[in-house]
Amino acid sequence: MNCVNFDKHFESYVKDWTKQNLGKYKNMDEMEADIPEVYLRWLNEPCDWLSGKTPGNYFDQFDDAHFLTKWLCDYVKKDVPVPDQLMERITALGEESENCLLEIAARENASEEVRMTAIGLLREMDSDKPMELYIGWLSGGRIYDELCENAADSLRNMGEKVIEPLLAAYATAEIGAKEAIIDILCDYPSEKRVLPLLLELMDVSEHTALIASYIAKFGDDDALPRMMEALNAPDISYLDYIEIANAVRALGGDIESERSFDGDPDYESMKELG
């Protein structure tokens, strides 16, 4: 497919417009303030490089979501910027596009860039069709790659419908995946099943400070006794202490006196930095 570089054509348009209008402005800031208007004008002017179509409506002549998403993949494969107008046309086609984008997101042999683009478009469409796919990534332990982080952002946007599937996945997930799942579940402070899971993670996770930050975000002061216990643990590290203390304060608790951490490598390093 022909992957026209819309960005390059707009840059050329702006360059010509700048030459023609340079004397009409007092400074570059005034000129740059009119660029959005110039862009709208460009969108609506017929172009010979689009056979007389305008950049703004060029893709409106196509209504096959499979064809358009294949075109999207070609743009990415050829390393040409994907036109906003192409992505807008894809999202405008609704459910047919959802299915095509979901197939791209799930395709293991597709490039990460095109899969990330598909995830982003599905999120723009408020689609919950990828929910099972994304939760599978999280619970399967793919929690540190950018693709999964993007999917987690989409799960956050899906609202309360994710709670039950996430709780089910949490039950059988490895600890790293549990930490990623509980982070999303903490967005729902009225869900009473989350706090026991958080407190359980405090006992088994190596990332004490991280879990403490989740507890602070969740905001249930029933966690205070357990947090105070953790705060007073004899072998607590300085960085864990700081995060747990922050959580205690966020939950409305008081810390009567600060502990000494002389000799703790992180504390000594921070002290040297002032």
Please check whether residue 32 lies inside any domain of the structure: no
136 and 69 together in one domain? no
223 and 207 together in one domain? yes
The residue from 185, 215, 232 where one domain ends is 185
Please check whether residue 21 lies inside any domain of the structure: no
Q: What is the largest CA-CA distance in the chain?
A: 75
Please check whether residue 45 lies inside any domain of the structure: no
Q: How do residues 186-196 score in pLDDT, each as one tens digit?
A: 999 999 999 99
The pLDDT profile of the chain, 274 residues, written as one tens digit per residue, is 899 999 999 999 999 998 898 888 878 888 899 999 999 999 999 999 999 999 999 999 999 999 999 999 999 999 999 999 999 999 999 999 999 999 999 999 999 999 999 999 999 999 999 999 999 999 987 656 889 899 999 999 999 999 999 999 999 999 999 999 999 999 999 999 999 999 999 999 999 999 999 999 999 999 999 999 999 888 899 999 999 999 999 999 988 777 888 888 887 888 777 6
66 and 80 together in one domain? yes
Cα–Cα dist 50/9, whole Å: 11
Angle at 134 between CA 133 and CA 140, to 5 degrees: 90
Residue 20: CB atoms within 10 A of its CB come to 9
Please check whether residue 12 lies inside any domain of the structure: no
Contacts of 91 (CB under 8 A, 6+ apart): 97, 121, 124, 125
103 and 142 together in one domain? no
166 and 119 together in one domain? no
Please check whether residue 233 lies inside any domain of the structure: yes
232 and 169 together in one domain? no
205 and 272 together in one domain? yes
Residue 126, pLDDT score: 96
Residue 93, pLDDT score: 97
Please check whether residue 266 lies inside any domain of the structure: yes
Output the domain CATH number for residue 222: 1.25.10
Total domains, the chain: 3
Range of the structural domain that residue 136 is part of: 130-185
Cα–Cα dist 84/6, whole Å: 9
163 and 207 together in one domain? no
74 and 114 together in one domain? yes
102 and 146 together in one domain? no
80 and 3 together in one domain? yes
DSSP letters for the chain: -----HHHHHHHHHHHHHHHHGGG-SSHHHHHHTHHHHHHHHHTS--GGGTT--TTTGGGG---HHHHHHHHHHHHHTT-PPPHHHHHHHHHTTHHHHHHHHHHHH-TTS-HHHHHHHHHHHHHTT--TTHHHHHHHHHTT--SSHHHHHHHHHHHHTGGGGHHHHHHHHHH--HHHHHHHHHHHTT-TT-TTHHHHHHHHHHH-S-HHHHHHHHHHH--GGGHHHHHHHHT-TT--HHHHHHHHHHHHHTT----SPPP-TT-HHHHHHHHT-
251 and 213 together in one domain? yes
Phi, psi values for residue 139, rounded to 5° = -70, -20
Please check whether residue 17 lies inside any domain of the structure: no
End-to-end C-alpha distance for the chain, whole angstroms: 59
Q: How do residues 83-95 score in pLDDT, each as one tens digit?
A: 999 999 999 999 9
Cα–Cα dist 49/235, whole Å: 69
Please check whether residue 65 lies inside any domain of the structure: yes
Predicted TM-score (pTM) of this structure: 0.87
